[in-house]
Amino acid sequence: MHPELIKAHIRMRDTTPAAIADELGVTRNAVAHAINGKSKSARIRAHIARLVGKSEADLWPAGGGASPGLRRRAMPKVSAGVAA
C-alpha cells in the first residue's frame, strides 16, 4: 500500500505517526521509515497494522515499498546543444 494511504488510515483512527512514535517509545523517523517501507521493524509494523485493522501483508506487500505505478517518472534529459 502506498505510504500516503497508510498515513490516511492512521489519521482515520484519530491518531498520527508522531503519536505512534510516542506510544512505542521510538523516534518519529523510525515510524516514518516503517510506513515508507524503508525499515522492517516488526514491532512498529505490527502496531500500525493492529491500529488500522489490516494485515501487515496488506499494508506492506512483498515488494516492501510503494507500488511502481505510484512512483514519479524520471524526467527525460534534455541536451544542452544549440538548435540549428
| pLDDT above 60: residue 69 | no
Assess if residue 72 is contained within a domain. no
The CA-CA-CA angle for residues 12, 27, 46, to 5°, reads: 55
- Does residue 66 have a pLDDT over 70? no
On whether residue 73 sits in a domain, the answer given is no
How would residue 77 be classed by pLDDT, with cut points 50, 70 and 90?
Answer: confident
pTM value > 0.75: no
> Looking at the domain assignment, is residue 23 inside a domain?
yes
User: Model confidence over 10-65: pLDDT tens digits?
Assistant: 999 999 999 999 999 999 999 999 999 888 889 999 999 999 999 999 999 875 44
Would you say residue 69 lies in a domain?
A: no
Give, in order, the Cα–Cα distances in Å from 67 to each of 9, 25, 63: 17, 29, 8
CATH number at residue 41: 1.10.260
Domain holding 49, by residue range, is: 3-61
Give the chain's domain count.
1
On whether residue 77 sits in a domain, the answer given is no
